[in-house]
Homo-oligomer: A and B are copies of this chain.
Amino acid sequence: MTVATKPSPQTKTRRLEQLAILVDQALERLLPDATAVPPIVHEAMRYCVLGRGKRFRPLLCLGAAEAVGAQARQALPVACALELVHTYSLVHDDLPAMDNADERRGQATCHRKFGEGNAILVGDALLTLAFEVLGRNGTPNGLEIVRIISHACGTTGLIGGQVLDLQAASHTLASAAKALTDIAQRKTAALIAASVVTGALAGGANANQVRAAQRYGQDLGLAFQLIDDMHDQDGLAAAMGVDAARDEAHKLISRAVKALEPFGRRADMLRQMADWLESTSERAPTR
């Protein structure tokens, strides 16, 4: 007779790290090889995608597939597509005509290294490749996943958020917490929620499971942006004050974890992601 032992925190962290490596390897395989594309795009796509992200969205996607009873790796193509979409949004947001950023993930931004024209094209190529990956894999609910990810990236999601952000930067009229919450909802929470929902769908979720995944992802996504702003001491955290932001993030994460109840122990990876996020809020500056 075997006795089930509770995995140690180290074992659980190691599992997340292993899955992040699995995502990195899959991304490496699906980026175009040097023979098929102009060398500069090949190099620039790899430069932007490989090796540096936290893989937060892919891990949520894999965790959601597991939560509905599938193997995590069944959602691997969808997880990769989400990371490609996320990276495209960073490359375009960093452009001189947008946030004009010099550094990203500890290295020069794409346009600083490869030029502005190439950076625009690399972003376009990553977004396009995401849909090609979704299109060529026989993942369950494939077309519904295309719809959800493209919707999260669209004018009511990522792009709408960036437009509002640009306007806020130039007009400084959107400093109110309400307007900033709207931007965070679109720019961050929409794609994070889509990561959880599409992972669940790739695992064959039913409608109730999709709704629970959506609730978890939506709350976690907003908490993610709050905590990010706490670290940068700007945006929503600056508008609300750091203490109120930390309380709000804590409330959102607790509610997200509560939404996981119907999944039972299968949602432990998603709980662990929530724990990880909560722990990062504790490392944010206190004022």
Interface positions of A (Cβ within 8 A of B) = 32, 36-38, 40-42, 45, 92, 95, 97-98, 115-118, 120-121, 123-125, 127-129, 131-132, 134-136, 142-151, 153-156, 159-160, 162-164, 166-167
Contact call B125/A124, Cβ cutoff below 8 A? no
20 residue pairs from A and B, CB less than 8 Å apart? A36-B156, A37-B163, A38-B164, A40-B167, A41-B160, A92-B124, A95-B117, A121-B162, A121-B163, A124-B124, A124-B153, A125-B154, A125-B155, A128-B153, A128-B159, A129-B150, A129-B154, A132-B146, A132-B147, A134-B146
Q: When A and B form their complex, which 7 residue pairs have the shortest distance between CB atoms, in order from nearest?
A: A135-B147, A135-B146, A132-B150, A97-B116, A37-B155, A97-B117, A131-B150
> A128 to B154, Cβ gap below 8 A?
yes
A49 to chain B, nearest CB (A): 13
Closest to A133 in B: B150
| Residue from B36, B95, B153, B155 in contact with A120 in the complex, judged by beta carbons closer than 8 Å | B95
CB-CB under 8 A from A38, the residues of chain B are 155, 160, 163-164, 167
* Cβ–Cβ contact A150 & B121, under 8 A: no
A74 to B202, CA, bound (A): 28
Residue pair B150, A36 in contact (C-beta under 8 Å): no
Copy number in the complex reads 2
- Which residues of B are found within 8 Å of A42, using beta-carbon distances? 155
> Are A150 and B135 in contact, CB atoms less than 8 angstroms apart?
yes
Say which residue of B97, B118, B131 sits within 8 Å of A115 (CB atoms): B97
- Asked if A124 and B127 sit within 8 Å, CB to CB, the answer is yes
Out of B131, B154, B160, name the residue touching A146 (CB < 8 Å): B131
Give, as a whole number of angstroms, the nearest-CB distance from A287 to chain B.
33
Q: Whole-angstrom distance from the CB of A202 to the nearest CB of chain B? A: 13
- Considering the complex, give the chain B residue whose CB is closest to the CB of A89: B124
> Besides the contacts A38-B163, A125-B155, A131-B131, what 6 more A-B pairs have beta carbons closer than 8 Å?
A37-B155, A41-B155, A117-B166, A121-B162, A124-B127, A142-B143
> Which of A45, A125, A129, A135 has the most chain B CB atoms closer than 10 A to its own CB?
A135
Are the CB atoms of A120 and B92 closer together than 8 Å? yes
The residue on B at minimum CB distance from A45 is B155
Q: Which residues of B contact A32 (CB under 8 A)?
A: 154-156
Return chain B residues, CB-CB under 8 Å to A92. Answer: 120-121, 124
* Chain B residues with CB below 8 A from A153, complex form: 124, 128
CB distance from A170 to the nearest CB of B (A): 9
